Chain A
């Protein structure tokens, strides 16, 4: 009931997003019912029917992804300190967002069922002179349990995904230092031996600086030797020799391990030296997660910014693998195409799935790279804000952007670059393409909205500082232009590479 009340009293933009979820769910539900109709009409070819059902997975995945993005952006299910006191805690909020998602998706599914029944002529007379009678198997009676089972797929999967993604979680314990294996892979932390020439080896001092900055970001000032912190804070290449010298004075022992967090005083041990169980607050202190959760609520606690995404090499490798699979499928003549439904298209499908996965993996890294390039050389306020924000939001924006890029390149390769016999797009294919494209683009826009909501207080502070609103808008436009400049050509290149084997 509370979910209904919260759903009703929302702003038009939020309602529009929920309606879009309902529309996507309706489209997917209609596609599923269309597959059912095909199976009813062609009981002699179960393979083709299964393949049609398998193709429905793509719109289903796009719809669920979109529903998840909308549930994340929903202001009605934001944690509210006032309501948490009366019992509307994180778990209840998760239930509410799952229920809201289920509500929108069920609305769409019901609409899909209505349209399906109407087109089959079950409700009133046959519309459109029975044009849809053939592929919807109007002459057969509709098996209602099958239809309802197919229709409940979208709401159930969407709300389960939302509940799983928004489940209340304790903040993660701080990441430990890089795991070091001992001899033969044992867990013992054996001392890293300084072999001949290891001290002056290229890059050895960088690792020291990076490891120190990464593992112990802020040593407690009251227990740290001041002689040590000034070299530890510098964290640069040139501070290496000073750091070594101060370590000698601090601990009395020449600690020459390259990766150790060598900023420890006499009585303090670094995280690397101690047993890992003592550095993990969850293990030593069972109440630590609650403390962290409390800390996350207080305004004094700033969450650390997300680290740079690391999936770029994996993504590029996966894209290459996907393109290779497509090229392998294109060796046979005639080249199978995506719009055909025979089983030979399976290899092409696998290739496209691999390519899409690679794009999703690679695009946060590419987005981060865009931001880094934007703020590269002596940036002013505009480029600094545009680039750093893009770097900070790389994961949030990049993943849906990768999905959009994959969908766009697949569409482009299927329509514009296809030079075989003119493909015929049926109404179901068009509907599926529409659902997938619309859902992915709407997901991208919703992710942008989510990023804007998360940065609302920073934007307000900037406006109080006197930053002109036009500058903030032009920073956003600069971000969009940079992303377009990178991902537009990338889409074209991927589509061309995918269409290359068919052209031969």
Chain B
């Protein structure tokens, strides 16, 4: 086994994953994530981006293959150890913002820090700082239902950035947003990650979003490919080809 380069914070080798109902997820994906880079995992919907991120972040365990984080094996860890690793080192941004509806905005953003055992005062300071950076500082005492979707998503990003994770997994963080909000959210996310040296693994099916990253990895049907351009069909299969009455 060859040693990974020193600046690889995480690398995965030939990950295979099959969903519980038997549908294929990943079929031998290998990739490496370098220190403090923004890596885009692109591909059309259903190509296994979310599954790859879930495997990499330890949410699920791949059936075959290896995942190494900081030169330590993750694929041999048990669920408790993976959970601790996820809490202390990783953060996760969902496609749709899921905030705890009972807590207000700054408490939501400070929750991962408090889960790590940081004192309440320090967690509040960090959370308010990040909320201010992401332009939702004036909403810090509101409840999530009073915010708009884009603001909620920014709160989610602040919640993910506030603990200063080693790797931030963002699973289509801009999927439910309009283009203006999308650009704003992405800009704040990438700027914050670059300025604080946080490694980001960003799943997206949007080539514009992938263009913001340092490096892009393309997935297609659970495999890593160089290009996702499918072979062009010579002529469109229009109404004649798909019609049953022909």
Q: Cβ of B100: which chain A residues have Cβ within 8 Å of it?
A: 385, 388, 458, 461-462
Known A-B contacts A305-B101, A305-B143; A465 and B111 likewise in contact (beta carbons under 8 Å): yes
- Which stretch (B35-43, B91-99, B199-207) binds chain A? B91-99
How many whole Å from B94's CB to the nearest CB in chain A?
6
Whether a CB of chain B sits under 8 angstroms from the CB of A186 is: no
Q: Residues of A contacting B88 with CB < 8 Å?
A: 466
Bound-state Cα–Cα, A76 to B112, Å: 35
Chain B residues lying within 8 Å of A303, measured Cβ to Cβ, are 145
Would you call A466 and B112 a contact (CB within 8 A)?
Answer: yes
Residue pair A300, B176 in contact (C-beta under 8 Å): yes
Of the listed stretches A106-114, A172-180, A374-382, A483-491, chain B binds: A374-382
**Given A233-B138, A458-B98, A458-B101, A384 contacting B114 (CB threshold 8 A):** yes
Instruction: Tell me if B184 is interfacial: C-beta within 8 Å of chain A.
Output: no
Contact present for B145 and A302 (CB under 8 Å): yes
Q: Is A5 at the interface (CB under 8 A from chain B)?
A: no
Contact of B102 (CB < 8 Å), options: A218, A379, A389, A469:
A389
| A389→B103 CA distance, assembly (Å) | 9
Closest chain-B Cβ to A37's Cβ sits at a distance in Å of 52
B221 at the interface (CB under 8 A from A): no
Q: Tell me if B72 is interfacial: C-beta within 8 Å of chain A.
A: no
Main secondary structure of the interface of B (DSSP, over half): helix
Tell me whether A468 and B87 are in contact in the complex, defined as CB-CB below 8 angstroms, given that A299-B176, A378-B120, A388-B103 are known contacts. yes
**Residues in A whose Cβ lies below 8 Å from that of B101:** 302, 305, 392, 458
A151 to B211, CA, bound (A): 70
- In the bound complex, residues from chain B placing their C-beta under 8 Å from that of A385 are 100, 103
Q: Which residues of A contact B103 (CB under 8 A)?
A: 384-385, 388
**Does any Cβ of A come within 8 Å of B8's Cβ?**
no
> Are the CB atoms of B149 and A300 closer together than 8 Å?
yes
How extensive is the interface on chain A, given as a class?
Answer: 20 to 34
Q: A466 touching B83 by the CB < 8 A rule?
A: yes
Q: Which of B98, B111, B145 contacts A381 (CB 8 A)?
A: B111
B86 within 8 A of A: yes
Which residues of chain A are near B173, meaning CB under 8 Å? none
Query: What is the CB-to-nearest-CB distance from A470 to chain B, in angstroms, rounded to a whole number?
Result: 9
Does A50 sit at the interface, judged by CB under 8 A? Answer: no
- Given the complex, which residues of B lie within 8 Å of A378, measured CB to CB? 120-121
B90 at the interface (CB under 8 A from A): yes
A:274-299 near B, CB below 8 Å: 299
Q: Does A391 contact B (CB under 8 A)?
A: yes
CB closest chain-A residue, reference B177: A300
Considering only CB atoms and an 8 Å cut-off, how many residues of chain B contact the other chain?
A: 32
List of A residues within 8 angstroms of B135 by Cβ = none
Nearest-CB residue, chain A, relative to B145: A302
Q: Which of B59, B90, B145 has the most CB of A within 10 A?
A: B145
**A248 in the interface, Cβ–Cβ < 8 Å?**
no
CB of A467 closer than 8 Å to a CB of B = yes
Q: Are B114 and A217 in contact (CB under 8 A)?
A: no
> Looking across the interface, which residue of chain A has its beta carbon closest to that of B91?
A465
Contact A466 B115 (CB under 8 A): yes
How many angstroms from the CA of A89 to the CA of B86 in the assembled complex?
Answer: 41
Let me know if B92 and A467 touch, CB within 8 A: no
Report which of B98, B107, B143 forms a contact with A384, defined as CB distance below 8 A.
B107
Residues A380 and B145 in contact, CB atoms below 8 Å apart: no
Residues on B with beta carbons closer than 8 Å to the beta carbon of A230: 138
B144 at the interface (CB under 8 A from A): yes
Please state if A465 and B92 are interface contacts (CB–CB under 8 Å): yes
**Considering only CB atoms, which chain B residue lies closest to A299 in the complex?**
B96
Whether B120 and A379, one on each chain, are in contact in the complex, defined by CB atoms closer than 8 angstroms, is yes
Least distance between B130 CB and chain A CB atoms (Å): 15
User: Which residues on A sit within 8 Å (CB–CB) of B94?
Assistant: 461, 464
Q: Verify if B146 is at the interface (C-beta below 8 Å from A).
A: yes
Known: A378-B120, A384-B103. A466 touches B98 (CB 8 A): no
Whether A222 sits at the interface, judged by CB under 8 Å, is no
The CA-CA distance from A458 to B59 in the complex, in Å, is: 16
A299 to B97, CA, bound (A): 9
**Complex Cα spacing A252 to B152, Å:** 35
B129 to chain A, nearest CB (A): 19
Judge whether A217 and B111 touch: CB under 8 Å: no
Complex Cα spacing A460 to B59, Å:
11
Distance in Å: Cβ of A457 to nearest Cβ of chain B:
6
Nearest-Cβ distance from residue B243 to partner chain A, whole angstroms? 24
Q: Are B98 and A392 in contact (CB under 8 A)?
A: no
On chain B, the residues within 8 Å of A381 by CB distance are: 111, 114-115
- Quick check: A467 and B96 within 8 Å, CB to CB? no
Bound CA–CA A3/B86 (angstroms): 43
Is residue A471 contacting chain B, with contact meaning CB distance below 8 A?
yes
Flag B218-230 by CB within 8 Å of A: 1 or 0 each. Answer: 0000000000000
Query: Does A82 lie at the interface of the complex (its beta carbon under 8 Å from any beta carbon of B)?
Result: no
| List of 5 A-B pairs having minimum Cβ-Cβ separation, nearest first | A466-B87, A461-B98, A388-B102, A381-B114, A302-B145
Chain A residues at the B interface, C-beta cutoff of 8 Å: 217-218, 230, 233, 299-300, 302-305, 378-381, 384-385, 388-389, 391-392, 457-458, 460-462, 464-469, 471
What are 20 pairs between A and B in contact, CB < 8 Å?
A302-B101, A304-B146, A378-B121, A381-B115, A384-B103, A384-B114, A385-B100, A388-B102, A388-B103, A458-B98, A458-B101, A461-B94, A461-B99, A464-B59, A465-B87, A465-B92, A465-B159, A466-B83, A466-B91, A468-B84
Q: Which B residues lie at the A interface, using CB under 8 A? A: 59, 83-84, 86-88, 90-92, 94, 96, 98-103, 107, 111-112, 114-115, 120-121, 138, 143-146, 149, 159, 176
Given contacts A385-B103, A388-B100, A468-B115, list 6 more A-B pairs with CB under 8 A.
Answer: A217-B146, A218-B146, A299-B176, A381-B111, A388-B103, A457-B98
